[in-house]
Amino acid sequence: MKGEHFSVDTKSAGRLMGLRWGSTGNRPVLALHGWLDNAASFAPLAASLRGVQIFALDLPGHGKSDHRPPGTRYHLMDYVPAVLEAADALGFTHMLIMGHSLGGAIAGLAAIAAPERVRAMILIEGLGPLSEPEAKLPGRLRDSVAGYARVHKRTEPVYPDIETLVASRARVGAMSEASARLLIERNVHQHDDGYRWCSDSRLRLDSPAFLTEPQVLMCLKAIAQPTQVLLGNDGMLTKRETLSPRLEALNSKDVRWFDGAHHLHMDHPEVIAAAATEFLSQFVP
């Protein structure tokens, strides 16, 4: 299910591309993918969702969207205005958001930054930003600055075929090859000498600062919107000691567990779509 292409212009992140699925007139849902993924992340789910339109963005620097200008960074907080500006361009004065992983963290921050805009959220394998103790900040800042200074000296990698990339993505991401192929095909472009990434290589560099865990908990406590949390039994969050305190801070009345790993919405779309459809049916267009 390939979806219909769309684009929006934002002040803070340039042109963002995306994919849309669903019938015009159904309630719109803004979908935000995970780190190094893209809008195709929601293609399997969109095929099973009922009664909604999915507007899946390629986040800045990801997929087919613009890269940030030279000298700028990809910091978590900078995604928030870009997403809100994209919603403005799409005409979403009030919106439902579905976020996976990084997209879930961005969704939660958007709900805090613009509570009057966000009606409800679905968080798939995402429950707040990454965190680390404040003692690690000096070293993180030092490594981040050094990494950005070296980025201009790097040679863009070239790959001879897509199959190698698909197999690698499936292995690293613990996902099916069919799911990996959807992400890879939207994230490469072909040249005479092989395939190159569309996504910005700077996305892989260290962030200059993380929130501390107490800051993340305060953010989760500040989310007042109805929020559904969908987690994989073999996902990235299940073994983290921060999971229980974060769930308690969010105080969601709809937390569900499913068989599957971090990309369970791609590998097991039917059961995730059923849960999401039930939750979203509460909210009329």
Residues carrying an active site annotation = 101
Rounded-to-integer distance, Cα 52 and Cα 234, Å: 28
Place of tokens 């229980």: 244
Q: Furthest-apart CA pair in the chain: how many Å?
A: 53
Rounded-to-integer distance, Cα 249 and Cα 144, Å: 30
CA angle 82, 88, 93 (to 5 degrees): 125
Taking alpha carbons only, the member of 35, 39, 45 closest to residue 16 is: 39
Length of the chain: 285
Q: In the chain, which ranges are continuous DSSP H helix?
A: 43-46, 76-90, 102-113, 137-150, 162-173, 177-186, 213-221, 243-250, 264-267, 269-280
Helix (H, G, I), strand (E, B) or coil at 28: strand
